């Protein structure tokens, strides 16, 4: 397969490339994903720990850094495991360009 740049006409042969489809975000609720991504961007957070109460009435996402930033939600997220570490990309998906 070859690709051609529409503007310059330059032809490119992508030898070591393959089709890529990003994984689905682990947080299914779009509003929660937006809140988590905004919180992470404001606080420069890339990796977090997910924790939930034993009765699943509350869940917390806490940063891995020294500042102990956290964001809390009522209820729990069934796609996440208590005590597991996740990246913001895993939780919220790839950022749209």
- Examine residue 73 and state whether it is found in any structural domain, yes or no: yes
Give the structural domain span for 32: 20-92
* Below-50 pLDDT ranges, the chain: none
> What per-residue confidence (pLDDT) applies to 65?
83
- Examine residue 41 and state whether it is found in any structural domain, yes or no: yes
- Examine residue 35 and state whether it is found in any structural domain, yes or no: yes
- Examine residue 5 and state whether it is found in any structural domain, yes or no: no
Rounded to two decimals, what is the model's pTM?
0.77
Distant-in-sequence contacts of 61-70, Cβ < 8 A, 24+ apart: 61/36, 61/91, 67/43, 69/39, 69/43, 69/45
> What per-residue confidence (pLDDT) applies to 13?
78
> What per-residue confidence (pLDDT) applies to 97?
55
- Examine residue 6 and state whether it is found in any structural domain, yes or no: no
Q: How many domains does the chain have?
A: 1
- Report d(CA 48, CA 92) in Å as an integer: 12
């Amino acid at each position: 397969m070859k690709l051609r740049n529409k503007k310059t006409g330059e032809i490119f042969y992508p030898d070591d490339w393959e089709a890529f489809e990003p994984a689905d975000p682990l947080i299914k609720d779009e509003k929660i994903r937006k809140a988590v991504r905004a919180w992470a961007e404001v606080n420069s957070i890339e990796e977090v720990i997910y924790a939930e109460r034993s009765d699943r009435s509350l869940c917390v996402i806490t940063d891995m850094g020294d500042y102990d930033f956290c964001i809390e939600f009522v209820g729990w997220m069934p796609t996440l495991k208590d005590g597991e570490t996740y990246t913001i990309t895993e939780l919220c998906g790839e950022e749209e360009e």
